[in-house]
Amino acid sequence: MRTLGVLLSLCIASTAWAGKPLVDAGHFADESQLFLQLGNTDSGYWLSVQAYAVGFVEKDRARIEVRQGGKQQFSYACQVGWDGGLAKVSCDGPQSGKLLKKAGPVEVDLIQESDADDKEYLLRTFKVNAKNWDGKREWQIDGDDLLGAAYFAPTHAQTGEYATLRFWVANGADFNAILRCTIDGKSVPDIDGTVESKNSLTADIIKGNSRTTWHWTQAAFYATRFKITSVGKDPESVYVAEHPGSWQCQLRKGGITVREFSFKTNAKGDAEPHPMQQGKGAPPLPPRVAMVDVKIPKDNGLDQRIKPDVIKKSRGFGLAWPQHDSVKVLLASLPPAYENANPPPPKKGPVKLVNGLEANPPKLVDESSTTVSVWRNGNGYFPRAKATIAGTTQAPSNMYRLEWKQGAKLLATLKCSWQQSDNRKQDWNTVECEDNNLSLTAKGAIEANLIYTDDQQGVDYLVRTYKVTVAKYPSKGDPVWQVVPDDVLATAWAHQGGESVKIRFWLGMDNTSVELRCTVDGKKLPDIKMSGHADDNNIEATVYDNKANATKYVWQQAGGGGTDVQVGMPPKDFKPSDGIVQYLGQYPGKWDCIVRQNGKQLREVLFTVNNKGSIDADPNQPGVYPSWVVPIELRFGKDILDGRVRPDAMKKSRGFGLPWPKPPTTKFPAASGLPDPK
């Protein structure tokens, strides 16, 4: 047995791995997915390499050999798996126990050990610069040469193949993005997607109380509606195969272009090979992976570092650029050198601000559901606003913001979130604006401009100017901040955009569960129940005296949850039920409804139901409104249960500073209730 072991050892030593590894066009690493980084220990640094490789079969192996200063330092074996038909090679340095301790150039050969023919193939040579960033133990390569190259590739999924753009950014990735493209000069709908980080290099430098972290991230743009070919046709998707030609694309983050891509596609939905792929020195790529032109806009607010001189020397991990005229054009477009660990937002040019009411279609707020309040944050507050805006689109690049101002001074700009609808024909969006990182202390009169940015048109629309009063309510203990929305009690709205009608108005009290007792042209109807407030449309402030006794200022919207009465005419085969109002269209005419709670008469609302079963707008409040909401007449009842009533505020505006189109005809009650906060 011992003799057999010796013979086997001699046989292996004499047949395998003699001479330099072969360079063969059938054995190579996928340039679009290569990754190398350094890891740190107290004694030095190790290397980690990841690659997807072509030319492997099941029993093949891989290793890396590391050189520094012209001498081989060590080699170690890599793990080989499979992913999408390519070999996934992972060379994880910490497990090898092999360390380097010097700064400077490092060369790493990634080698395939072929089991079938007992030959070695050189898949890739990495040439990197190992740098000690903090002079102690923060070792990392200098990744500035990685930004110059980008690739188009398909990504496989059960629902078909997605088109993917692979590239590097000098920062963290993982952000929502828009791909805005033209094909042969013709626009296609914006493609809503995400930029996801695949691998990342970091160099973390701590000096005293100062910390700087540099990032280089291998990223990819994905979008569920950016596909190669149609599988189960989706009219909202962009299929590359249906648009062969020259693509010019902007990758946009928050309305700012952070990359520009150019490439040509064919009728199969694949990108054509870039001209430089035919140049001398161009490495091969896997099938259906193609290089694309990438441009880095100057001052894009994303990249921490741009080193054009480094990019000109290498297109990633020390790989020289191919010899081709197209390379000269690409490199000539590089932006100037830049370095800032916290890149500031780019300066935008002047954007036209248009009154939303003057647009076509008008951009305006659903007044029946909007609200503005503030929430305490530390010793100050942050604003919150919510609104449904009509006249918008579902373009994924839409943006909204709230500008919080006092006089001519802009105190804060809040970004607003919104949910894109799958129904691309929907012409409205609900937005919510807040920023709990703010802690403002401005009291008194505040104007808050809600602005809708149509990124495709490059136009800002002013859709609403809220005018509120912010007070610091006198209270023992923690500060109490809140708006004082006395004018919201002034009017009522009929929301009839869903199946049931909602009669919405504000009450200065906690319990808003009420019912309507109505007559139509003098004829009494069965009582109509209304749900209480909904959608968090309530504003409150609880204050305490020296004895910890609580007093609550509160304004709540009633009727937010709706009624059981449906909008429109009853169907032809409709059979009415006794004691129930089921459709507005059952009772066209003039409605006069008392708002009741436990026998108390809180309000009175008056409106006209037309012969289509919908409510007409109050003729004393002419104006432009969303199609689903109209103002209706409101009067105060004989029982005033509101905690606070201020007629002067209601005479000036009809809710959050909304002006009356005509002087109000309502007879408001005398001032009463809780004192004015300061």
Q: Is the dihedral of CA 196, 202, 204, 205 positive or negative?
A: negative
Percent of the chain with pLDDT over 70: 96
Q: How far apart are CA 70 and CA 517, in angstroms?
A: 94
Residue 78 contacts residue 123 (beta carbons within 8 Å): no
- Whole-number Å distance between alpha carbons of 506 and 517: 18
CB 401 within 8 Å of CB 370: no
Instruction: Give the Å distances, CA to CA, from 87 to 110, 113, 150, 377.
Output: 13, 13, 21, 53
Residue 4 Rama label (left phi>0; alpha psi -120 to 50; beta): alpha
The yes-or-no verdict on residue 182 having pLDDT over 60 is yes
Instruction: State residue 391's pLDDT score.
Output: 96
- Residue 639's pLDDT is 96
Contact between residue 227 and residue 233 where contact means Cβ atoms under 8 Å apart: no
Q: Tell how strand 380-390 and strand 428-434 pair up.
A: antiparallel
> Which of 81-85, 175-179, 210-214 comes out lowest in average pLDDT?
81-85
Q: What is the pTM of this model?
A: 0.80
* DSSP codes, 203-264: EEEEETTEEEEEEEEEEEEE-TTEESS-SS--TTSEEGGG--EEEEEEEEETTEEEEEEEEE
The secondary structure element, H or E, covering residue 9 is helix 2-15
Strands 226-227 and 238-239: parallel
What's the sign of the alpha-carbon dihedral 635, 637, 638, 641? negative
Average confidence (pLDDT) over 267-276: 96
Beta bridge partners of 630: 494
pLDDT at residue 536, rounded to an integer: 65
Position 614 scores a pLDDT of 97
pLDDT > 80? residue 480: yes
Is pLDDT above 60 for 592?
yes
d(CA 64, CA 431): 53
Average pLDDT for residues 338-354, to the nearest whole number?
Answer: 88
Task: State the Cα–Cα distance between residues 505 and 490, nearest whole angstrom.
Answer: 8
pLDDT at 643 over 90: yes
Alpha helices (runs of H) in 96-219, residue ranges in sequence order: none
Q: What angle do CA 398, 401, 407 make, to 5 degrees?
A: 150
DSSP codes joined into one string, 542-574: EEE-TT--EEEEEEEEESTT--SPBSSPPPTT-
Please state which of the ranges 230-239, 430-439, 548-557, 638-647 shows the lowest mean pLDDT. 230-239
Q: What is the CA radius of gyration of the chain?
A: 34
C-alpha span between 288 and 614 (Å, rounded): 58
DSSP character string of 396-435: TT-EEEEEEEETTEEEEEEEEEE---S-TT--EEEEEEE-
Beta strand extents in 621-674 (DSSP E only): 629-636, 644-645, 672-673
**pLDDT tens string 217-233:** 999 999 989 999 887 77
Q: How many helices (H) and strands (E) does the chain have?
A: 4, 44
Burial 190-205 (b: 16+ CB within 10 A, else e): bbbbebbbebbbebeb
pLDDT tens for 141-162 read 999 999 999 999 998 866 678 9
Question: Token digits for 85?
Answer: 């038909």
For residue 349, pLDDT over 80 is answered with: no
Count the residues in the chain. 678
Bridge-based pairing of strands 371-377 and 364-365 is unpaired
What span, in angstroms and rounded, lies between the C-alpha atoms of 625 and 631? 9
- Residue 175 burial (C-beta neighbours within 10 Å; 0-12, 13-18, 19+): middle
Query: What would the mean pLDDT of 42-57 be, rounded to a whole number?
Result: 94
* pLDDT surpassing 70 at residue 344: yes
Residues pairing with 447 in the sheet: 405, 467
Q: Over range 585-589, report the average pLDDT.
A: 97
Phi, psi (degrees; rounded to nearest 5) at 579: 80, 10
Q: Which amino acid is at 596?
A: R
Is residue 1 scored above 70 in pLDDT?
Answer: no
Give the dihedral of Cα atoms 275, 281, 286, 289; nearest 10 deg: -30
pLDDT digits (tens, 9 = 90+) for 92-124: 877 777 899 999 999 999 999 999 999 999 999
485-527 pLDDT, tens digit each? 999 999 999 999 888 999 999 999 988 889 999 999 999 999 9
* Helix (H), strand (E) at residue 326: helix 325-332
Strand partners, 249: 181, 261
Q: Which spans in 305-366 are helix H?
A: 308-313, 325-332
- Phi-psi sector, 245: left (phi>0), alpha (psi -120 to 50), beta: left
Check residue 156 and give its pLDDT.
80
Alpha-carbon span 270 to 163, nearest angstrom:
9
Mean pLDDT of 273-284: 95
Mean pLDDT of 124-128: 97
Q: Which residues pair with 38 in a beta bridge?
A: 47
Q: Which residue has the tokens 């870039």?
A: 274
pLDDT of residue 15: 38
Q: Is the pLDDT of residue 466 over 90?
A: yes
287-337 tens-digit pLDDT: 999 999 999 999 999 999 999 999 999 999 999 999 999 999 999 999 999
Question: What's the average model confidence in pLDDT over 445-470?
Answer: 95
Question: Are the C-beta atoms of residues 260 and 295 closer than 8 Å to each other?
Answer: yes
